[in-house]
Chains A and B, each alone.
Chain A
Amino acid sequence: MTDVIAPPAGGGGGALIPGAGTDHLAHPHEEHGPSGLMKWITTTDHKVIGLSYMITAVALFYIAGLLALGIRVQLTTPAGTFISFQQYNQLFTMHGSIMLYLFAGPFAFGGLANYVVPLQIGAPDMAFPRLNALSYWLFLGGSTTMLLGFATSGGAADFGWVAYAPLSTSTYTPGTGEDLWIMALVLTGFSAIFTGVNLVATIFYLRAPGMTMFRMPIFTWNMLVTGILILIAFPVLTAALVMLFADRHFGTMIYAVTGCHTVTGAPDAHACGSAVLWQNLFWFFGHPEVYILALPYFGIVTEIFPVFSRKPVFGYKGMVFATMSIAALSTGVWAHHMFTTGTVLLPFFSLMSLLIAVPTGIKFFNWIGTMWRGQLVYKTPMLMSIGFLFAFLMGGVTGVMLASPPIDFFVHTTYFVVAHFHQVLFGSAVFGGFAGLYYWYPKMFGRMLNDTLGKWHFWLLFIGFWVTFMPQYILGLHGMPRRVASYPAHLGWQSLNIASTIGAFMIATSFLFLLANFWVSWRYPVPAGDNPWDAHTLEWFTTSPPPHHNYTHLPTIRSERPTWDYNHPEAPTIRHGGPSGPGHPNGHGPIGSGNGGPPGGGDGSAGARQGVPAS
Chain B
Amino acid sequence: MKIESTFLIGVGIFFGCVAAIYWFLSYEDAGGMMLVGTCLLGLVPGSYYFFWHRRFRGHKYFFWGKTERVVGTRPEDRPDATIADGAGVISSFPGGSVWPFILGMGAFVLLLSFVFGVWLAMVGGSVILTALVGVTAESRRGGTH
Contact = CB atoms under 8 A, between A and B. Distances in A.
The residue in A25, A124, A209 that gathers the most chain B C-beta atoms within 10 A of its C-beta is A209
Interface stretch (A6-14, A381-389, A448-456, A590-598): A6-14
Given A280-B30, A281-B30, A328-B14, A208 B97 contact: no
A42 B82 contact: no
Nearest to A42: B96
Contact of A183 (B14, B86, B95, B114): B114
B89 A6 contact: yes
A331 B12 CA distance: 12
B88 A334 contact: no
Given A145-B108, A204-B49, A331-B15, A44 B3 contact: no
Given A33-B96, A331-B38, A334-B31, A208 B22 contact: no
Contacts of A176: 115
Interface in B59-101: 75-101
B94 A2 contact: yes
A288 B41 CA distance: 15
Interface size class of A (residues with CB under 8 A): 35 or more
Given A133-B101, A214-B3, A7 B92 contact: no
Interface string A320-360: 00001000100110110000000011001000000000000
A32 B104 CA distance: 23
A414 to B, nearest CB: 26
Contact of B97 (A130, A144, A324): A130
A142 B105 CA distance: 10
A208 B83 contact: yes
Interface stretch (A228-236, A260-268, A398-406, A529-537): A228-236
Contacts of A84: none
Contact of A206 (B85, B91, B107): B91
Given A6-B89, A41-B98, A332-B18, A210 B76 contact: yes
Nearest to A343: B28
Contact of B89 (A4, A42, A186): A4
Nearest to A331: B38
A11 B83 contact: yes
A3 B111 contact: no
Interface in A243-266: 245, 249
A214 B3 CA distance: 9
Nearest to B90: A5
B108 A5 contact: no
B94 A228 contact: no
A287 B77 CA distance: 33
Given A6-B87, A145-B112, A39 B96 contact: yes
Given A11-B83, A42-B97, A183-B112, A141 B30 contact: no
A406 to B, nearest CB: 20
B135 A130 contact: yes
B11 interface: yes
Given A137-B103, A245-B114, A332-B35, A7 B94 contact: no
B3 A280 contact: no
A545 interface: no
A69 B105 CA distance: 32
B129 interface: no
Nearest to B145: A33
Contacts of B88: 6-7
Interface in B94-145: 94-101, 103-105, 107-108, 111-112, 114-115, 135, 142-145
Contacts, number: 217
B92 A5 contact: yes
Contact of B31 (A6, A42, A133, A335): A335
B92 A130 contact: no
Interface residues of B, number: 63
A520 interface: no
B95 A1 contact: yes
A34 B107 CA distance: 25
A217 to B, nearest CB: 14
B115 to A, nearest CB: 4
Given A21-B84, A212-B77, A141 B41 contact: no
A371 B8 CA distance: 32
A183 B97 contact: no
B76 A212 contact: yes
A234 to B, nearest CB: 12
Contacts of A284: 30-31, 34
A608 interface: no
B115 A187 contact: no
B95 A44 contact: yes
B86 to A, nearest CB: 4
A166 B124 CA distance: 31
B31 A210 contact: no
A10 B103 contact: no
Interface in A18-43: 21-22, 25, 31-34, 38-39, 41-43
Interface in B1-53: 3-4, 7-8, 10-11, 14-15, 18, 21-22, 25-26, 28, 30-31, 34-35, 38, 41-42, 49
Contacts of A209: 75-76, 78, 81-86
B114 to A, nearest CB: 6
Interface string A98-129: 00000000000000000000000000110101
Contact of B100 (A3, A133, A211, A324): A133
Nearest to B34: A284
Contact of A130 (B10, B11, B25, B99): B99
A44 B96 contact: yes
A91 interface: no
A44 B93 contact: yes
The residue in B77, B78, B84, B99 that gathers the most chain A C-beta atoms within 10 A of its C-beta is B84
B83 A554 contact: yes
Contact of B107 (A5, A125, A187, A208): A187
A347 to B, nearest CB: 8
A614 interface: yes
8 contacts: A3-B94, A12-B83, A31-B96, A124-B90, A211-B76, A213-B4, A331-B18, A557-B83
9 A-B pairs closest in CB distance: A137-B104, A10-B83, A141-B108, A209-B75, A133-B100, A209-B86, A1-B95, A207-B76, A42-B96
Interface of B: 3-4, 7-8, 10-11, 14-15, 18, 21-22, 25-26, 28, 30-31, 34-35, 38, 41-42, 49, 75-101, 103-105, 107-108, 111-112, 114-115, 135, 142-145
Given A6-B88, A42-B97, 19 more contacts: A1-B145, A2-B143, A7-B83, A32-B95, A44-B93, A44-B100, A125-B93, A130-B97, A180-B112, A183-B111, A183-B114, A204-B4, A207-B76, A208-B83, A212-B76, A284-B30, A328-B15, A331-B35, A553-B83
